[in-house]
Structure 1
Amino acid sequence: MVTFFGNYNLIISNADLLVTKLFSGTKASVGNLVAENDSEKNNQVFWEFMSLRFYIGGLGFIGIITLMDPFIQVWLGEKYVLSISVSIVFAINFLLGQIRQPVDVFKQGFGLYADTWAPVTQGTINLIISFALAKPLGLTGILLGNTISLLIIVMIWRPYYLYKKGFKVQIGSYIIGFFKHLTLLCVFLFITNFIINLFPFKVKNFTDVGIKVVIVTPLSATIYGLILYTTNQHFRDVIKRLYSGFVNR
């Protein structure tokens, strides 16, 4: 079971590392932005960053759910494929790993390091829940320990801390903005999964895996991109900014 877990974790960790490298210059840029002390601009860039991370996290989520198992099956064999519940928790953890980044980066930009207890608490929660759920749920329960600890510390405490000590505004605006993004993500996942299931595709070899990747990736990117572009001003702004930077470089 540990070996099976390692196969999935290796692929997802490498994908996460790739995204991290793409955003490697973000911390310095945000630090310079915060130094300007322009609260409106800080808020604008924060939500542009959040919309982009939701986009990447959403694409990663659907990719893990639809492509991971077929790839493992062809690469290593059917016996190495884990249950769908494990894939779902892996996908959730990847998503959380993406959408935590705007808060983490701005927290560092503001120099907010007083919550030294948070990582220890997160690790403790992870350990306790993983231990409690390991027997009834197996690997899924162990992974859920990480999920729940991320939700409590990273997705609840840190935004509150950032908004109170950094942005110095009420957390309500964050909650509203976050749940708007979460709703759009759910719409995207429902539509994309529905379309993919309309055309079942049995994977037998690496060529089939490649074909499925070529189908799922642009389909997902287009659907989620259109949903966000037509409903979210911050996503439109960041796309225009990226396009302008690409054209004028």
Structure 2
Amino acid sequence: MLRLPVVTDAAELSPDRLHLQTDEGGLSLVQGKLSVRGDFTHMIPRLRPSNLNREFLVKAGRMKGIERPVAIDATAGLGEDSLLLAAAGFRVHLFEYNPVIAALLLDAMERAREVPELREPVSRMELHVGDSIEAMNRAEDSIGGIPDLVLLDPMFPERQKSALVKKKFQLIHRLESPCMEEETLLNAAIAAGPRKILIKRPLKGPWLAGRKPGYSISGKAVRYDCILLPRD
């Protein structure tokens, strides 16, 4: 997946250099004293049925009358939202265009397969490294069919400056830029032909590309804007 130089002596790295590091715990993105690692084990309590059904993402994404719904997570990041959808019964195609973040996510998924509470939902998650916009514009080729749901969680400039962003995720934000092609992203999601598009927004954030949703489901800090599309 990655074609990067390998350093075996940490002394060769400058303190401010962003690098990937592997140890017995898995793969980490590191800069100085900051580090981030993809890890789903802290999600286990949220996956218990009584808790899962209260998740706003699960409530917003719920599908009636579909036995095995298929979702595209077009902005996968470290995959936590995809895990919630997978635990709720979705087959999830995760798209991540940044190869470093994709490597962290893949490492987290591989380790999760060894954890009994995570094995089943992770088995319904498939990672694609590449541009989700291109993939959604040809969904039948890229995922082998038409999704029932598309999830979008694009970063935007205000979020980078927020005091609420945890320091470790500053490393992730250095790798991924805010979404500057909101209309292109939304149009690609529509082109994929889903029944529903979910757009994850900060509670007081603007509508994506100015598109008013059919309805929204809001928590304390996050809002899910829901766009329903007709299916022939």
The TM-score with structure 1 as length reference comes to: 0.27
The TM-score with structure 2 as length reference comes to: 0.28
Which structure shows the bigger proportion of residues in strand conformation?
Answer: 2
Larger radius of gyration: 1
Which structure shows the bigger proportion of residues in helix conformation?
Answer: 1
